[in-house]
Structure 1
C-alpha cells in the first residue's frame, strides 16, 4: 500500500528579521541615511547633539523587503510630565524617508505599544497616514533651493526683491561675516532668545543645544554661523548645518530695530553663496507653519522647491491637555517683556525639552 504525500506549498522568500539599533552610533544607520536618502534630522550627528542636550536616548529599526529594498525609522522615547510617547524626531523638521510600501511600513511600526502615542513627520506623500488608526495632526510648508547653477544663475533665480534688498543692505553699511568662535555662537543664541520672546512670546532652545551642535558640526567646517553687522553691532544671524551635500538653515534671528537695513536678505544671500562655494547640491530652508503666511511667502522668494510636511500620529492622543495649558501659561509669563532676558533664557534651558 502506497502513501501519497501532500505537495509542498510554494512560498516566497522569508523576510529578514527587523534590525533594531542605536542610530547615533551604529554604522549601519549612518550608511542607510547617507547618499541622499535621509535628511539632517535623521543623521547621527544631529541625533547625538539633541540627545545629549535633553538627556534622550534614540532607537531605530531597519527592515528589508523581499525585493531587497530597505526601509528605516528612528524615534526617541519620551516619558515626562506630559506622559509617555514616541517622537520621530524631537525638535526636527522631518524624518525622511518613510517607505510608501504598506508591508514595510507595517513591519517598521509593528513593535509599538498600541496605547503609546507616536508622532512622525515626513514629506508628503507619506503612506504612514494610511496605517490603521493614523491621524494627520498638522501640515507645514517646506522649501529648498537647488544649487545646479553658478553664482550668476543663482542670483537670477531668486526673487528680484531679494537682490534689491541685498543692495540696500550693502549701501546702509551691513556686512556679513562668518563666526568661528563660541563667542560668535553665543551672540547668535542671545539674539535668538531676544527675537523669539519679542515677536512670538516663545522660549528659545537652550544654548547647550547650540554648543552640542558645534561639537558635532565643526564651526570652521560643517557649521556656518553667519552674522550680519552694522556699525559694529550684530543685527542678524543665522546658523546653517551641512550634511550629506545639503546646507540646512536651522536657526535665525534679527533685531526689530534694524529691519530697515535689510540684514536678513544680505545674510541669506551669503548663506546661498556659502553653499555654492562648498559645492553643495541644495539649501534646505526648513519648515514653516501654514498659519504664518508671511514667512512662507518670504521663503518662496528664495526657493524653487516647495512641498508639504505632514505630522502623523499613531495611537491615542497624548493625555497632557492640562499640562500643555500650564506650560503655555508659564511660557507667557516668562516671555513677558518685563522679565529679564537672562531669566527667559534660563527658562528655555529648563522647559524647552517638554515641547516635543
Structure 2
C-alpha cells in the first residue's frame, strides 16, 4: 500500500530524487520549478507516494493560479510538459487524488507514452510534437544521420564564417534576451518573458554548470542565439531567436551543431528539442532534420476552462498585446510590457 504526502517540489529531498530518476525531466526539476515560481510569484505543490519502507514510488506537481484570467490548476505553468513521475504505475491514484479534488479545473501536458493519458478523468484538448536527438554515437555518425539539408546548412554557416560563442556567462543571457524580444515581437506579435525570468533561470542552473547560452556572430554582431539547460544526462533546447535577414547564412544551424559537439564531449545522452505547436509546421520540420525520435505531447484537462474566465479579459489581452508589439513600438517598451504581463499567459 502506498501512502502519500504533500511537499514543496522546490525543496523536498524526495521530490529531488524523483526528478533525478528516469521519469524526471527539466520541467519537473527543482531548479526549473524554483525559477518559474519565483519569477512569477507562484506557489507550487507536489504529492509524493512512498512505499512502506519510505521509498518514493511516484509524484505529481502542480500550481494553483488565480488571476484576472480565472482560477485554474496547472501541472505545471510555463512548461513544455510536466509528466507525472511514476516509478510504479500503482502510485498514480495516490499522487493524483489531491490534484483532482476540489473545484479547480486541472490541466497538464505529458508525452503520449505516459500512462496518465489513459485516465478517463481527462479530456484530450491539445497536441504538439516533441523531438529528441540521441547522442550515444560518434560525432561522425551523428553528422551522417542528419538530413542532407542540415549538413548543407552547417557547411554554409562555416563558409559564411559564422562564429559561435557558447558560454556559461550571465552577460550572454541578457544579450540573448534582446534577440528574443525582437523575434517574438516581429515574427509572432507576442510579448517575451521578462529578463528577470532568464536571470533566475541562470541563477538556478549555473551552480551545477547546467546552462549554456549560444550566440552566433557575423562580423562581430550577434545575429542568432539560443539557451540550453542541462538536467541529468540530457541537454534541453529551451529558447532560440535570430535576426531574419541573416538566416541565409544559417546561424541557427551553426549554433546547434556547436552545442551538439559540446554536449557529446560532456558525455550527455540526448538533446531534447522540446515542444512544437502543430500550427508551426515549419518549426517541427526544422527539428525533424536533426532529431531521430518524434512523439506527441498531449494536453489533458479535467474540469473545463478556468473558473471565472472572461471573454472580455481575453480580448483585452489580445488587443493590448497587438498594440505593444506594433513595429513602431520601441523594443525596450515591448520588453517592459512583457515583464508586466507575461505572467498572465499560463
Q: For this pair of structures, how many residues does the alignment match?
A: 342
Asked if 2 retains the 8 angstrom alpha-carbon contact of 1:65 and 1:104, the reply is no
Q: Distance in 2 between matches of 1:100 and 1:220?
A: 25
Output one character per residue of 1:255-290: Cα deviation in whole Å (capped at 9) or x when no partner: 011111110111111111111011000000001001
Indicate conservation of the 8 Å contact 1:24/1:48, yes or no.
yes
Matched, 1:255 2:243: yes
Change in CA separation of 1:96 and 1:189 when aligned onto 2, cut-off 3 Å = same
Q: CA RMSD in A?
A: 2.0
Give the Cα separation in 1 of the matches to 2:209 and 2:216: 19
Matched, 1:170 2:191: no
Unaligned runs of 5+ in 1: 1-14
Shift of residue 321, structure 1, vs aligned partner: 3.9
User: Which residues of 2 match residues 1-356 of structure 1 at below 5 A?
Assistant: 15-64=1-50, 70-97=57-84, 99=86, 104-111=91-98, 112-218=100-206, 221-318=209-306, 319-322=308-311, 323-356=313-346
Distance 1:128 1:155, change over 3 A: same
Alignment deviations for residues 211-235 of structure 1 (CA, whole Å, 9 cap, x no partner): 0011111189210101100001000
In structure 2, how many angstroms separate the alpha carbons of the residues matched to 1:304 and 1:130?
26
CA 108–165 in structure 1, closer or farther in 2 if over 3 Å, else same:
same
| Residue deviations 1:183-221 (CA, integer Å, cap 9, x gap) | 221110010000011100011101111100111111892
Task: Give yes or no for contact 1:98–1:128 (8 Å, CA) kept in 2.
Answer: no
Residues 1:169 and 1:176: Cα distance change in structure 2 (over 3 Å): same
CA distance in 1, matches of 2:331, 2:122: 41
8 A Cα contact 2:27 2:80, kept in partner: yes
* 1:276–1:294 CA distance, 2 compared to 1 (3 A): same
Q: Note if contact 1:166-1:262 (Cα within 8 Å) is conserved in structure 2.
A: yes
Partners of 1:328 and 1:250 lie apart in 2 by: 25
Deviation at 1:238, TM superposition (A): 0.4
- Could you give the per-residue CA deviations for residues 324-356 of structure 1, whole angstroms, max 9, x where no partner exists? 222111111111111111110011101111111
Question: Which whole-Å CA distance do the structure 1 matches of 2:151 and 2:84 have between them?
Answer: 34
Question: Which TM-score applies when normalising by structure 2?
Answer: 0.94
- Alpha-carbon contact 2:24-2:85 (below 8 Å) kept: no
Q: Hey, what's the Cα distance between the residues in 2 that align with 1:321 and 1:125? A: 34
Q: Could you say which structure has the larger radius of gyration?
A: 1
Q: Note closer, same or farther for the CA distance 1:228–1:38 as it changes in structure 2 (3 Å cut).
A: same
How far apart, in 2, do the equivalents of 1:86 and 1:176 lie? 41
**Residues 51-110 of structure 1: CA distance to partner in whole angstroms, max 9, x if unpaired?**
111111111111247998812100111111112211111111111245598764333222
Q: Is the Cα–Cα contact under 8 Å of residues 168 and 209 in structure 2 kept in the other structure? A: no
